[in-house]
């Protein structure tokens, strides 16, 4: 069970103002959900809570029905910065993650799994490159491969492609969506972005955070390209534009 659920979830940094204010929502297993909202609206904070990197001020966040108590291999996170170990090759970076997730695998088995997922991520020719030898797109592909190889039940992606050029961004969006769609069972995805087009391209559902709360919960278009689908996309853009305007004046500091 890969659901993600917030119950009266609130969070503040130290003695600062509340960043999240009594959030209540549920993401079902296998959903692909994008989080939109202004900078400082709490999107990254919510992902860090789901990853177990922060603790709630009050309320709780549950993954698979259990409160998140800390980091775990059931959740994989890809940051805007790739977070690869600079002294390890792409192969070794991914194999290290595999060994954390599958303690019984031998080094050879872990490396074989790493190679498989690096190849799926389009890095067959970069297995033995170090991060400083890779382009930004290659580093993010390696980070995605590590998440896949660890077989995390929940994917947490925090603006992973925002620093990339449009062509590479589209390529990686297509890769992530394809690998998610091919999953059996499908993983549960929380994907933070500031890019409305990216959210409309990827998501089944969009949560808009404003003022530390869920200000909008929108079902995305089907992606089938029909007239009704295009009408749905237009309606979504209109509603998202309204939400951005409505919450522009009251941004939180997160």
Q: What is the pLDDT of residues 161-217, one digit of tens each?
A: 887 888 888 888 998 899 899 888 899 999 999 999 999 999 999 999 998 999 999
Domain edge (last residue) among 128, 152, 176: 152
- State yes or no: pLDDT of 226 exceeds 80: no
The residue written with tokens 């997160």 in the block is 254
Cα gap 101→89, rounded to integer Å: 19
Is residue 70 domain-shared with residue 169, that is, in the same domain? yes
- Residue 253's pLDDT is 41
Instruction: State the pLDDT confidence band at 137, using cuts at 50, 70 and 90.
Output: confident
- Residue 4's pLDDT is 96
The residue written with tokens 């394809």 in the block is 178
Domain edge (last residue) among 152, 174, 201: 152
Is residue 112 domain-shared with residue 222, that is, in the same domain? no
- State yes or no: pLDDT of 23 exceeds 70: yes
Paired tokens of 13: 């940094």
Is residue 53 domain-shared with residue 95, that is, in the same domain? no
CA 10 to chain centre: 20
3-state secondary structure the chain: CCCEEEEEEEEECCCCCEEEEEEEEEECCCCEEEEECCCCCCHHHHHHHHHCCCCCCEEEEEECCEECCCCCCCEEEECCCCCCCCCCCHHHHHHHHHHHHCCCCCHHHHHHHHHHHHHHCCCHHHCCCCHHHCCHHHHHHHHHHHHHHCCCCEEEEECCCCCCCHHHHHHHHHHHHHHHHHCCCCCEEEEECCCHHHHHHHCCEEEEEECCEEEEEEECCCCCCCHHHHHHHHHHHHHHHHHHHHCCCCCCCC
| Residue 79, in any domain of the structure | no
* Domains of the chain: total: 2
Q: State in Å, rounded, how far the first CA of the chain is from the last one.
A: 30
Instruction: State the pLDDT confidence band at 249, using cuts at 50, 70 and 90.
Output: low
Instruction: State the pLDDT confidence band at 160, using cuts at 50, 70 and 90.
Output: confident
Burial profile 21-45: b = 16 or more Cβ within 10 angstroms, e = fewer: bebeeebeeebbbbbbbbeebbbbb
Phi, psi of 170 (to 5 degrees): -65, -40
Paired tokens of 19: 């960043």
Cα gap 39→254, rounded to integer Å: 8
| Residue 214, in any domain of the structure | yes
| Residue 181, in any domain of the structure | yes
Whether the Cβ atoms of residue 121 and residue 148 lie closer than 8 Å to each other:
yes
Is residue 35 domain-shared with residue 113, that is, in the same domain? no
Whether the Cβ atoms of residue 124 and residue 138 lie closer than 8 Å to each other:
no
Is residue 44 domain-shared with residue 123, that is, in the same domain? no
| Residue 92, in any domain of the structure | yes
| Residue 175, in any domain of the structure | yes
- State yes or no: pLDDT of 252 exceeds 60: no
Per DSSP bridges, beta strands 18-27 and 4-12 are antiparallel
Is residue 114 domain-shared with residue 161, that is, in the same domain? no
Percentage of the chain beyond pLDDT 70 is: 94
- Residue 165's pLDDT is 84
Instruction: State the pLDDT confidence band at 254, using cuts at 50, 70 and 90.
Output: very low
- State yes or no: pLDDT of 22 exceeds 80: yes
Domain that holds residue 123: 84-152
Is residue 22 domain-shared with residue 100, that is, in the same domain? no
Is residue 180 domain-shared with residue 235, that is, in the same domain? yes
Q: What is the pLDDT of residues 87-136, one digit of tens each?
A: 999 999 999 999 988 988 999 999 999 999 999 888 999 999 999 999 98
| Residue 249, in any domain of the structure | yes
Q: What is the pLDDT of residues 50-75, one digit of tens each?
A: 999 999 999 999 999 999 999 988 89
Is residue 250 domain-shared with residue 127, that is, in the same domain? no
| Residue 172, in any domain of the structure | yes
Is residue 237 domain-shared with residue 162, that is, in the same domain? yes
pTM: 0.88
Is residue 131 domain-shared with residue 50, that is, in the same domain? no
Cα gap 195→200, rounded to integer Å: 9
CATH number at 60 reads 3.40.50.300
| Residue 14, in any domain of the structure | yes
- Residue 171's pLDDT is 86
Domain edge (last residue) among 152, 168, 190: 152
Is residue 53 domain-shared with residue 104, that is, in the same domain? no
């Amino acid at each position: 069970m890969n659901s993600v659920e917030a119950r009266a979830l609130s969070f503040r940094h130290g003695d600062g103002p509340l960043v999240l204010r009594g959030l209540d929502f549920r993401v079902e297993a296998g959903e692909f959900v994008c989080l939109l909202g202004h900078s400082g609206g709490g999107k990254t904070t919510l992902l860090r809570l789901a990853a177990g990197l922060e603790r709630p001020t009050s309320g709780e966040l549950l993954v698979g029905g259990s409160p998140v108590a800390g980091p775990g291999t059931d959740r994989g996170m890809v940051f805007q910065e790739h977070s690869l170990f600079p002294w390890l090759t792409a192969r070794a970076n991914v194999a290290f993650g595999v060994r954390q997730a599958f303690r019984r695998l031998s080094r050879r088995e872990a490396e074989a799994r790493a190679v498989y997922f690096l190849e799926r991520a389009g890095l067959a020719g970069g297995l033995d490159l170090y991060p400083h030898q890779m382009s930004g797109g290659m580093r993010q592909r390696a980070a995605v491969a590590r998440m896949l190889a660890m077989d995390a039940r929940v994917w947490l992606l925090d603006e992973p492609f925002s620093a990339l050029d449009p062509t590479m961004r589209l390529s990686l969006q297509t890769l992530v969506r394809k690998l998610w769609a091919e999953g059996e069972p499908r993983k549960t995805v929380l994907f933070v972005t500031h890019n409305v087009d990216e959210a409309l391209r990827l998501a089944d559902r969009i949560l808009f955070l404003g003022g530390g709360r869920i200000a909008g919960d929108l079902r995305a278009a089907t992606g089938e390209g029909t007239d009704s689908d295009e009408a749905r996309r237009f309606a979504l853009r209109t509603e998202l534009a309204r939400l951005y305007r409505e919450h522009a004046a009251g941004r939180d500091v997160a």
